[in-house]
Amino acid sequence: MVSWTGCSLKYYRPQGQPEIRTGADPLKPQQWHLKNLGSIEGKRYTRIKAGQDLNVENAWNSGLNGDGIRVAVVDDGLDMTHPDLRPNIVDGSHNYRRQSLGENRYSNRIAGHKDWPVPCTEDDSHGTSVAGIIAARDYNGIGGTGIAPRASLVGYNLLAFGDERNILDALSRDIDKNHISNNSWGPNDDGQLNKPASGWTAFNDALAKGLNKGRNGLGVLYVFSGGNGAWEGDYSSADSATSSRGVITVCAVDAAGERSPYSERGANLTVCAPSGRSTTPATAPEITTTAVKDKYTEDFGGTSAAAPMVSGVAALMLQANPRLTWRDVPLILARTARQVDASKGGWSELRSPLAGVTGHDVLRYSHHYGFGVVDAEAATRLARSWQSVGGSAEQRKCGPFLMNVSKPIPEASTVTQQQADSTPASMDDGSAEEQYFEALTELANNLDYNKAPTGGLSSTISVPANCNLQHIEHIDVNLTVTGDNGRGEHPNAGDLQIALASPLGKVSTLLPPHPCTEKDEDGELKILACQGLQDFTFGVRRHLEEPVAAGANRNWTLSVADRVQGGTGQLKNWSITFYGR
């Protein structure tokens, strides 16, 4: 028996090898994300459209199933005994609860299983559901199937005790064995400017270790959820962890192929993947996958479900071409993603040279959808013929290029009066606080994310001629905004609209005006000022494959405007760093 003191769940390891079962997977017809027929037997949904799925069947038919690819599920735990997962679970899981609580809190009657990262209660089913999306076993007569149903799984229950040290450990653990690290977690969806708990530098150093040394120099693929806070105005780029270089950040679409209402927008997004809509009453299906204690759920969702979709597809890509590097995979995903919501998605086009082939691709980007919805067949097909751009050693860096500004940020095209400060305030019906919240969320919903604000402050960095990258892969924009006196925090960073424009005229909205929120002990949502725009780094994916310069134009322009009346500040400085080839 394996359990922890104070935990309600106990696990009994089956004796011997996993039972080899055969037969069709009975829940597979409910897994619309694998094959969306436009309806699910016995269910009535208004938002489901045939073809809005991962397009994975032809990838399977070509012989791909994830065999030989190991995925680390970094989450709240992994049910090591689940019959739909156990055949794919290999040695190498890690139990942070054991480390944090001590050996004396552990009840173990099976020698050698203290590193089982098993869930403590049935509420800790998140990681087990994530694992099922990636690699639930196929053709075993039970449950459903994963996207890469023969991939290997390990679990790290980081969320059981996610202190700073453990976060860094989980990112860099077994980088010689793990091909993919799935991270369906992040900071609170509160709109604040969130740096990693371990600090930005330490977090990125841990990622760099996996990128540089993982898979014998090919690099670990780090897949992260983009965040579920769009309901309250949160923005994925405000989380510097999910915006870091080397991270594949994933948004969510529903079964009709449109952005799930909770899925956060951002200039850091790579691709979207299927998930639920999370509305009441249910208008669209959620995701059917594994749950703790040999159970299943049909109600898993959020960007937590979307991220493992991409991890599963990435496993198929690595099986199709084991020499793909961490840089190759997002380039392939961007080129093969499927455009959705064409009329309202806010798409912008870029013609980019096609790797290894004469001619050009058209890359389309949206702050709502990244480069589009992941397409397993297209991604694996291109993966087979892809000419690698190399790993970390071949990636070039330019910068940082710094501009000291120290000028006030003007109010421009304001939409509401300031109502938020450092003290959380209730939003009673009809109150000024509620009107402030609604004005900012409406602005975020209707904003043209491909345009810079007008009437504010603009600052331009002209990139030196010795920085001649022709294909940008990642940009870091670091900036500091202060109060009116040039010191301290801006009174409310959520007032600001911040955008970066390239020499080609492509615009990244780094931060839209938005409210910040927190929930009190009774679950009531309250507003307060947004903080954190001091030495904050925005990681940008939106300019993928653009050149640093367009002819003689080497100017990158940052525009900042204050869209709320009351509470102003200064842009102290900003810098830009480019990575690419």
CATH topology of domain 397-580: Jelly Rolls (2.60.120)
Give which of 309, 358, 260 is closest to 47, Cα–Cα: 260
At 571 the pLDDT is 99
Choose the catalytic residue: 152, 240, 304, 508: 304
The CATH 2.60.120.260 domain(s) of the chain lie at 397-580
- Cβ burial of 202 (10 Å; 0-12, 13-18, 19+) is middle
Q: Is 360 a catalytic residue?
A: no
Give which of 265, 192, 271 is closest to 235, Cα–Cα: 265
Residue of 346 and 1 predicted with greater confidence = 346
Domain 28-101+117-336+373-388: top CATH class: alpha beta
What one-character-per-residue DSSP string does 266-321 give? Answer: -SS--EEEE-----SS-SS--EEEEETTTEEEEEE-SHHHHHHHHHHHHHHHHHH-
At 112 the pLDDT is 46
- Cα–chain center distance at 198: 18
At 10 the pLDDT is 78
Residues with Cβ within 8 Å of 224's Cβ and at least 6 positions away in sequence, in order, are 183, 184, 186, 241, 242, 247, 248, 249, 250, 307
Q: What is the band of 18 on the pLDDT scale with cuts at 50, 70, 90?
A: low
Q: What is the band of 213 on the pLDDT scale with cuts at 50, 70, 90?
A: very high
For residues 480-498, give the mean pLDDT: 97
Q: What is the pLDDT of residues 71-100, one digit of tens each?
A: 999 999 999 999 999 999 999 999 998 755
Give which of 13, 299, 294 is closest to 136, Cα–Cα: 294
The CATH 3.40.50.200 domain(s) of the chain lie at 28-101+117-336+373-388
Between CA 446 and CA 345 the distance in angstroms is 11
Least confident residue range of 19-33, 168-182, 388-402, 458-472: 19-33
Q: What is the pTM of this model?
A: 0.95
The helix (H) or strand (E) run that includes residue 348 is strand 348-353
Q: Is 502 a catalytic residue?
A: no
Choose the catalytic residue: 126, 179, 367, 514: 126
Between CA 491 and CA 418 the distance in angstroms is 10
Size (the chain), residues: 581
Q: What is the pLDDT of residues 511-526, one digit of tens each?
A: 999 999 999 999 999 9
Q: Is 75 a catalytic residue?
A: yes
Q: What is the band of 111 on the pLDDT scale with cuts at 50, 70, 90?
A: very low
Q: What is the pLDDT of residues 250-299, one digit of tens each?
A: 999 999 999 999 999 999 999 999 999 988 888 999 999 999 999 999 99
At 101 the pLDDT is 53
Question: Per-residue pLDDT for 425 more than 60?
Answer: yes
Choose the catalytic residue: 3, 33, 53, 75: 75
Helix (H, G, I), strand (E, B), or coil: what is residue 579?
Answer: strand
Reading the block at residue 266, the tokens are 């951002």
At 361 the pLDDT is 77
Reading the block at residue 136, the tokens are 């639930």
Question: Per-residue pLDDT for 103 more than 50?
Answer: no
What one-character-per-residue DSSP string does 480-531 give? Answer: EEEETTSSS--S-GGGEEEEEE-TT--EEEEE----EEEE-TT--EEEE---
DSSP-derived letter for residue 232 is G
